[in-house]
Chain A
Amino acid sequence: MRGIRVIPLVLAAVAVAGSAQSQVAFERVAAPPAATSEDIVARLLSFDRDGDGRVARDELNERMKALVTRGDADRDGALDGNEIRNLARTPMPAAGPGAGFPGLYQVPMDTWFPDRTHIDGALADLKLAREMYKRALAVVESHEPRVDAVARKARGELLRQMESVLTIEQLGEFQTVLDRQRTRPFNTIAGLIRVSGARHDVGTALSIADRGNPAAAVRQSLMAGDPDKLIDHYGLPPEQNREAHAVLDRYRANLRTLGQGERAALVERMKDVLTAEQRDDFRAALERRSAVPVGLFGRPGNAPARGTGVISIAPPFAAPPSVP
């Protein structure tokens, strides 16, 4: 328990000790609540200059005047609150998948240490002279056993704690999911997928697919490499479920801390190989995550690629039809 209390302190210490750019990697401030149709209503009503509770055509900018044409049900030349709500509830339909160019990409998840591909890419982007590159690569390779040892220890601790929460069979599946995460350290897909013709975000889509078929849900979680989802599908008693998630969260926090330490250690070991500027670039590259395209564009509506956790999606937002 003391170790768990120490983690936030260590995180804070690392954050303070580092430079402005070595803030906790992968961190993006949680998004505010999704915009809703009420936001649309509020936005349109903000154009109501004369305060009469309606938005007249001449109160809107040129681009938005056509909204009055679309939504003015009582033909008074303006949109009142109800008309705006009706418009917002029935947004213009997306005009199909948009030229067959869906966006397929993965966003790296909050891994504790960059995988070898990431590190090699960070080194390659420095455009080092051949000899220097070979020396830098040698440093990376000599660092790997240490990273592996740290990871094994953390994972061992995680599994030990999970033993008191999961059955043997569940623990086996849990290990499989962890292994999958190790080899495929990407989040599930950003964007929208189609389920039965309607578009949903990924989480909702998976829930719909899972409905009424727990075994399929478990398989889906295994395929997607999602340990949180797997825990939820086991239907554990609430306290056990909470404890399992807490163990997982502590593991991740531990890895984040360890990862920062290992990244810093690796950069430090490059002192005799790279210049200060190159080390700074290398460090920033290790912390950076970029969305990765998943091969070439697929076609909308493809079935999930087996075992990869990648779901082929239709383009996030298809082209709207012309404004009348």
Chain B
Amino acid sequence: MHGRIATLTVSAWVLAVALLPSWWSSMPQAASAQTAPSRATAGRTLRLPELPYNYSSIDLPAHFSEPTARGFDNTPRDNPITDHGATLGRVLFYDTRLSANDTVSCGSCHVQAHAFVDPNRYSRGFEGRLTDRHAMSLVNLRYHPRGRFFWDERGGNLEAMVLLPVENPIEMGLDPDTLPGILAPDARYPDLFRRAFGDPQITKDRIARALAQFVRSMVSYQSKYDEGRAAARSAADDFSNFTLRENRGKALFLRNCSVCHLPGQEAHFVMVSTANSGLDDDPKSADGGVGDVTLNPREIGQFKSPSLRNVKFTTPYMHDGRFSTLAAVIDHYSSGGRNHPNRDVRMLPMHFTRSVRDALVAFLETLTDTRFLTDPKFSDPFE
């Protein structure tokens, strides 16, 4: 009996919470082009520049433009980055109405100052429940050549991936099919959609495209490494703007790490395939990564690696955020990893000394792009 009463009470509260936004939005609101309508986070004003920021024609350095590096670009022909498209995507990225209870947005867990990762090990979703993997960095997703996303690459192209967190019952908990109906009452969106797509129609597909354009526009290319590389003949040369330790770290990185993390070119610090780095040794109980999706036993324990750009700020590290410092990450690689049956053959004991580890950390920190981390065009437009 008590249990039934408790259930009814809880149900009543849930119903009230679910109905409250609908009731609220049906109330007449003061009209304002700049004020968010009722269902948005209260009191937030959307501020966009008169002319859109430049997302589509950034002046990339030469090492981004050499043929192999260019080949990493996964931008599809049918959804190129446009300034208006990315602007719309930016608004959507920070709009909490993409969550079931209007409390979290993509930007809640992918924080610009932290290179679009969550500074916490796990993220809190719309109901306060924790995810079980660290939020991946969104930096330079444009240059992941396989065009597959998430730690286990279960997300297809970016257009397919961007709405998966929206519908995830822990993360944002909203059926993406309802998004057009949720956004349509907001007088600003039809205009944003018109500018981006030529007419004001709001569709799930366009929402995904706009988000994908914005995410692809997040290109970091102005780090200390990039400045040094631009002034050198190749990445192997000592950079004039680097300290001795940083140059030493770069040399060590190129010799020991680049086979996976800077493959075949000198701009993109990404891996071109998933790998098992021996984080765990038990294929039965650890997170199975790609293998949990494909059920291919040889893929158990394989994970995607995010770009190393801005890695100083993407702590904690690995799919489960188990390492809180870069030194700990390097120690893991130095050990050769644990003896998992699918451990990558490239994972050999490196026996890094402390000075080698410090030099590698110094180099990795040169991948920091302060301008990217503070660029207003990637920031939250809601005030």
Which A residues are within 8 Å of any B CB, using their own CB? 21, 26-29, 31-37, 39-40, 42-43, 46, 61-64, 67, 87-88, 91-92, 98-101, 103, 105, 107, 121, 124-127, 190-191, 277, 280-281, 284, 287-293, 296-297, 315-317, 319-323
Q: Which of B98-106, B216-224, B346-354, B371-379 contacts A (4 or more CB under 8 A)?
A: B346-354
Name A129's closest neighbour in chain B (CB-CB).
Answer: B244
Q: Which residues of B contact A127 (CB under 8 A)?
A: 238, 244, 247-248, 251
B297 touches A39 (CB 8 A): yes
Q: Which residues of A contact B336 (CB under 8 A)?
A: 28
A319 touches B348 (CB 8 A): no
Q: Which of B148-156, B181-189, B308-316 contacts A (4 or more CB under 8 A)?
A: B148-156
A288 touches B350 (CB 8 A): yes
Which residue from B148, B292, B339, B353 sits with its C-beta under 8 Å from A64? B292
Name B339's closest neighbour in chain A (CB-CB).
Answer: A29
A293 touches B259 (CB 8 A): yes
Name B's interface SS. loop
A107 touches B348 (CB 8 A): yes
Is B65 interfacial (CB 8 A cutoff)? Answer: no
Name A289's closest neighbour in chain B (CB-CB).
Answer: B348
B264 touches A63 (CB 8 A): no
- Known contacts being A63-B154, A127-B244, A280-B353, is A297 close to B264, with CB within 8 Å? yes
Cα-based distance from A301 to B293 in the complex (angstroms): 26
* CB-defined A-B contacts under 8 Å, sample of 24: A31-B339, A31-B341, A32-B339, A34-B297, A39-B300, A40-B295, A43-B284, A43-B292, A61-B132, A64-B292, A88-B297, A101-B264, A107-B348, A121-B255, A284-B351, A288-B351, A291-B345, A293-B263, A296-B264, A297-B263, A316-B275, A319-B146, A320-B154, A320-B294
A124 touches B259 (CB 8 A): no
Is B234 interfacial (CB 8 A cutoff)? Answer: no
Is B54 interfacial (CB 8 A cutoff)? Answer: no
- Interface residues in B274-324 by Cβ distance below 8 A to A read 274-275, 281, 283-285, 288, 290-300, 302
B146 touches A99 (CB 8 A): yes
Cα-based distance from A28 to B284 in the complex (angstroms): 22
Which residue from B263, B274, B343, B350 sits with its C-beta under 8 Å from A101? B263
Name A42's closest neighbour in chain B (CB-CB).
Answer: B284
Name B132's closest neighbour in chain A (CB-CB).
Answer: A61
Shortest distance between the CB of B151 and any CB in chain A (Å) = 9
Q: Which residues of B contact A297 (CB under 8 A)?
A: 68, 263-264
Q: Which residues of A contact B251 (CB under 8 A)?
A: 124-125, 127
Q: Which residues of A contact B297 (CB under 8 A)?
A: 34-37, 39-40, 88, 91
Is B48 interfacial (CB 8 A cutoff)? Answer: no
Q: Number of contact residues on B: which range applies?
A: 35 or more
Is B25 interfacial (CB 8 A cutoff)? Answer: no
Q: Which of B148, B248, B295, B299 has the most CB of A within 10 A?
A: B295
Shortest distance between the CB of B27 and any CB in chain A (Å) = 36
Q: Which residues of A contact B156 (CB under 8 A)?
A: 321-322
Cα-based distance from A99 to B71 in the complex (angstroms): 9
B272 touches A103 (CB 8 A): yes
0/1 string, B145-173, CB within 8 A of A gives 1: 11110001111100010000000111000
A91 touches B283 (CB 8 A): no
- Known contacts being A28-B349, A92-B294, A127-B244, is A40 close to B272, with CB within 8 Å? no
Q: Which residues of B contact A46 (CB under 8 A)?
A: 284-285
Which B residues are within 8 Å of any A CB, using their own CB? 68, 71, 74, 132, 145-148, 152-156, 160, 168-170, 238, 244, 247-248, 251-252, 255-256, 258-260, 263-264, 272-275, 281, 283-285, 288, 290-300, 302, 336, 339-343, 345-346, 348-353, 355-356
Name B275's closest neighbour in chain A (CB-CB).
Answer: A316
Q: Which residues of A contact B263 (CB under 8 A)?
A: 101, 103, 293, 297
Q: Which residues of B contact A28 (CB under 8 A)?
A: 336, 348-349
Q: Which residues of A contact B294 (CB under 8 A)?
A: 91-92, 320
B169 touches A62 (CB 8 A): yes
Q: Which residues of B contact A67 (CB under 8 A)?
A: 295
B244 touches A99 (CB 8 A): no
Which residue from A33, A99, A317, A320 sits with its C-beta under 8 Å from B145? A99
Cα-based distance from A43 to B353 in the complex (angstroms): 37
B68 touches A290 (CB 8 A): no
Cα-based distance from A173 to B84 in the complex (angstroms): 68
Cα-based distance from A99 to B264 in the complex (angstroms): 14
B296 touches A317 (CB 8 A): yes
B353 touches A284 (CB 8 A): yes
- Known contacts being A43-B284, A319-B146, is A126 close to B248, with CB within 8 Å? yes
Cα-based distance from A39 to B284 in the complex (angstroms): 6
Q: Which residues of B contact A280 (CB under 8 A)?
A: 353, 355
Q: Which residues of A contact B155 (CB under 8 A)?
A: 322
Name B347's closest neighbour in chain A (CB-CB).
Answer: A28
Q: Which of B74, B291, B293, B300 has the most CB of A within 10 A?
A: B293
- Known contacts being A35-B342, A43-B300, A315-B273, is A290 close to B293, with CB within 8 Å? no
Name B147's closest neighbour in chain A (CB-CB).
Answer: A99
A291 touches B264 (CB 8 A): no
Shortest distance between the CB of A300 and any CB in chain B (Å) = 12
Cα-based distance from A293 to B263 in the complex (angstroms): 8
Name A286's closest neighbour in chain B (CB-CB).
Answer: B351
- Known contacts being A39-B284, A98-B272, A190-B345, is A92 close to B293, with CB within 8 Å? yes
Q: Which of A42, A88, A190, A323 has the most CB of B within 10 A?
A: A323
Shortest distance between the CB of B181 and any CB in chain A (Å) = 24
Name A121's closest neighbour in chain B (CB-CB).
Answer: B255
Cα-based distance from A305 to B321 in the complex (angstroms): 41
Cα-based distance from A322 to B341 in the complex (angstroms): 25
Q: Which residues of B contact A284 (CB under 8 A)?
A: 351-353, 356
Q: Which residues of A contact B148 (CB under 8 A)?
A: 319-320
- Known contacts being A98-B273, A121-B255, A291-B348, is A320 close to B339, with CB within 8 Å? no
Name A107's closest neighbour in chain B (CB-CB).
Answer: B345
Shortest distance between the CB of A234 and any CB in chain B (Å) = 28
B346 touches A190 (CB 8 A): yes
Cα-based distance from A221 to B274 in the complex (angstroms): 31
